[in-house]
Amino acid sequence: MPASTTTTTVLTARAFLLDMDGTIVNSDAVVERCWRRWAERNGLDPEEALKVVHGRQGYATMAVLLPDRPMELNYADNKVMLAEETADTDGVVPVAGAPAFMAALAGRPHALVTSADAALARARMTAADLPMPEVRVTAECVGASKPDPEGFLKGAAELGFAPADCIVFEDSEAGIAAGKAAGMRVVGVGPRANAHEPTAYVPDLTHLTVTAQADGTLRLEING
């Protein structure tokens, strides 16, 4: 058999913007439990619903699944969903390589940009035993859900860097679209990401090596 080959891609940036669910935290078990219940309550096929739930805020996902439904009902259901998800951390674990990846970013410019609200983000990061970034853009901070780029643009601005100086790490179609719309390079992480044409792709975070350079930039080595 021919020897396997690997490729290495190197990107540099001033700051990293990290999605949470599916990117550094594996919360799929909780997401699927909660969204299956919601789909069944609303007469939807849970398997079809699960194809679109990742990456967006809950109310935005509900609007996609039930386009004729009044938005006030989606907002009300979203509050219930967030409470259910925050209380349920069974099966929440770090994505492979996430502890080392986050440790490499300690003291370096990075932000969490998530569709979760602050309480849910803290619950899941704690359950996964990952450090919470000092800069974070949660659901309460934005007026529009991913795939709108608002969250990533706010994260870059709070860190003090231009979009072109940032790299986004995302797992979902909505998140990758948001990163691209923000004018940023996107590293896709995990099984959902590769189909949506990120700048680069890794199965998990064990394929990444981060090195801080003398000029303050972050060198990202992507091993395929």
Q: What is the pLDDT along the chain (224 residues), one digit of tens a residue?
A: 444 567 899 999 999 999 999 999 999 999 899 999 999 999 999 998 988 888 788 999 999 999 999 999 999 999 999 999 999 999 999 999 999 999 999 999 999 999 999 999 999 999 999 999 999 999 999 999 999 999 999 999 999 999 999 999 999 999 999 999 999 999 999 999 999 999 999 999 999 999 999 999 999 999 97
- What does the alpha-carbon distance between residue 129 and residue 202 come to, in Å, rounded to a whole number? 22
Q: What per-residue confidence (pLDDT) applies to 1?
A: 46
Is there a contact between 116 and 22 (Cβ–Cβ < 8 Å)?
Answer: no
Q: What per-residue confidence (pLDDT) applies to 56?
A: 84
Q: What per-residue confidence (pLDDT) applies to 51?
A: 86
- What does the alpha-carbon distance between residue 14 and residue 108 come to, in Å, rounded to a whole number? 9
Non-local (6+) Cβ contacts of 127 within 8 A are 25, 89, 92, 93
Q: What per-residue confidence (pLDDT) applies to 5?
A: 61
Whether 165 sits among the annotated catalytic residues: the reply is no
Is residue 115 helix, strand or coil? coil
The 8-class DSSP code of residue 88 comes to -
The 8-class DSSP code of residue 183 comes to T
Residues in the chain: 224
Non-local (6+) Cβ contacts of 103 within 8 A are 131
The 8-class DSSP code of residue 91 comes to T
DSSP assignment of 13-69, as one string? Answer: ESEEEE--BTTTEE-HHHHHHHHHHHHHHTT--HHHHHTT-SSS-HHHHHHHHSTTS
> How many Cβ atoms from other residues are within 10 Å of residue 118's Cβ?
15
The token pair at 156 is 């870059």
Helix (H) or strand (E) holding 136: strand 135-137
Is there a contact between 182 and 152 (Cβ–Cβ < 8 Å)?
Answer: yes
Closest CA relative to residue 163, chosen from 175, 147, 151 = 151
Whether 21 sits among the annotated catalytic residues: the reply is yes
